[in-house]
Amino acid sequence: MAERTPRNNKKLNWGQTSKTAVFWMLVILLPFVFYQMIDSGREDYVEVNYSVYARQLEQGNVVEVEITSGQYVQGEFRQAVTAQDGNRVTRFRVLFPIQNSEMLIQRIEDQGVPIRAKEPKTSFGTVFISLLPWVILIGLWLFFFRQVQAGGNRAFAFGKSKAKLLTGDTPKVTFGDVAGADEAKAELQEIIEFLKDPQKFQRLGGRLPKGVLLVGPPGTGKTLLARAVAGEAARPFFSMSGSDFVEMFVGVGASRVRDLFEQGKAHAPCIIFIDEIDAVGRHRGAGLGGGHDEREQTLNQLLVEMDGFESNEGVILIAATNRPDVLDPALLRPGRFDRHVVVDMPDVRGREMILKVHAREKPLSKDVDLATLAKATPGLAGADLANIVNEAALLAARRAKQHLEMVDLEDAKDKVMLGVERRSLVLTDEERKLTAYHEAGHAIVSVRIPGLDPIHKITIVPRGQALGITVSLPEEDRRTHTKKFILGQLAMAYGGRVAEEIIFGTDKITTGAAQDIRHATELARRMVTEFGMSEIVGPMAVGEREQHIFLGREISRRHEVSEKTAEVVDAEIKRLLDEALHRAREILQHERELLDTMAQALLDRETLDRDEVKLLVEGKALPPKTAVIPTPLPVAKPEKKTAPGPGTVLGTPPAEPAGA
């Protein structure tokens, strides 16, 4: 990358600094010099004591006097007088012992000596204080004037771009540091090659793309990809956030857009990266200020700069957002953003590569299997995986280990995906028993329904806000889900509530199934209204849709179906949920013995993994429990039990990208 000095890291110019210091010293010393020039023209008077003055006054040797403030007297002798220091004095100065003494003044008048009154002499400090505001104002005016002439480094630079220019001394991130986004890397690699060798593509009439939009969920590595482009490209790279354009001052955003592209054209060919472009690129015409809204003016200027009358050849704009639906259509069209690169959630292979990238500088034990860890983390983005590796390193350090072991990574994964263990939360025996049967009900229904994801872990150790958790993880990533799978998910969601009814009776069911019921209801509603999986309603999208309009218009709700259709939809949702509840009840009543066995195993061990669940389902005894030394926790008082309930089913929501 070409060596350039960034604006924020300029080396100190001692020559310019010295000139500036001398200039300000002259400005400050100017009042002192001015005062000295005025005062230097006056002849000094010699100080004499009052006795000498009184004697010369009585002898008539005083020609005239000048009195200041009624106490300070200066005048001239007719004949020189020898002062106390032995020098001959013609002009004298004396201080009256009493201020405004009429008697002393009367004595002067009696001798016929002319008297002149004079205003007190202005002191040097008074002159300086009176001139200081003018000196400051003139100095500030000169400073701003010099700054504007020099290009407005920061003064009066509201309209200047805040973009950072990445240079050769910036820590480099390359494509080797990015994993799990092979298609996006290929698209951006082509941009870099175009910048390095444009003739290769222009031979066949190709032109340089003007814009690349990176779209994807949070944490998938959009900004990291842009940093990798900066590290790979041997061209200037400007980085800026979308929120940096909009300020409280009118017209500042548009001015900064102009300045940004002027800098880009001066350094062409170059790359400009705008992170979170949705902060400035939203739909126009939705704001209270209409077309005069500051954000819309900024967007208008951005549209003109990207594809207007003036060409910006050699300037490529890369932008990132996780909300492409709110962007203005004029911004997304070809000619402005020629390419839309989707940075999606990584698959199992991508997750393994991401884990390797983040773990390559950490000491790993021989038992670490990142492929297994990748399979156990479906739906997690790159940022989540980086957090797992970091949490594992912190956990291993807390346990005084020299290497990261697989158990550290597993515990870190559970912490990130399920929440922190709350072992300080003391449960009563009845609560532990109820939680054990609740989670066992989820697990047994999941095991007995074919096609569902296998059980990964069951625990009655409180995590987060749940008193117990049943975790199902898919053996492979799913992008779509069948109706059979979703119906099985509904039955599994009701497994905990049904287990409570069977064991404790309908009068002792708890609020622990609230989240399960909410999840099942939402799933059934989507089956009917979105997925078209209802034979009665048919394959149509129905329901109400809220239209969220920005300031200036009211928030309205549009009814897309009739009241009769809405009743049919509600009845169909109720039917699906009743069938799922009945299916779960049949399974658990038939597996009552297994329910008791699994609940007792949870009470004894608190956590069951996949292999232990498989042994229980096959009717085999569990191996002896190994002693585990828990991580020491700070002593705390028992918390008040405010958790919503014992059961939480974690799985992949259907018909959405993994991890949504």
Where in the sequence numbering do the catalytic residues fall? 439
Question: What is the arrangement of strands in the sheet containing 164-166, beginning at the earlier edge strand?
Answer: 164-166, 237-241, 270-275, 315-321, 211-215, 339-342
Distances (CA, A) of 610 to 204, 459, 470, 471: 58, 11, 11, 10
Strands 315-321 and 237-241: unpaired
Enter the DSSP assignment of 327.
Answer: B
Residue tagged 């003109």 (tokens): 304
Q: Which of 372, 323, 118 is nearest to 215 (CA)?
A: 323
Contacts of 358 (CB under 8 A, 6+ apart): 385, 386, 389, 390
Report the residue count for the chain.
Answer: 660
Identity of the residue numbered 588: L
- Token pair listed for 476: 């492979």
Q: What is the CA radius of gyration of the chain?
A: 42
Q: Which of 381, 331, 328, 265 is nearest to 658 (CA)?
A: 381
3-state secondary structure 587-604: HHHHCHHHHHHHHHHHHH
* C-beta of residue 152 within 8 angstroms of C-beta of residue 7: no
Please give the Cα distance from 375 to 576 (Å, whole number): 32
- Token pair listed for 424: 């300080």
* C-beta of residue 143 within 8 angstroms of C-beta of residue 137: no
Chain centroid to CA 186: 28
- Token pair listed for 473: 């993880």
Please give the Cα distance from 102 to 569 (Å, whole number): 111
Enter the DSSP assignment of 638.
Answer: P
Phi first, then psi: what are they for 125, rounded to 5°? -65, -40
* C-beta of residue 318 within 8 angstroms of C-beta of residue 343: no
Q: 413 - beta bridge partners?
A: none
Identity of the residue numbered 234: A
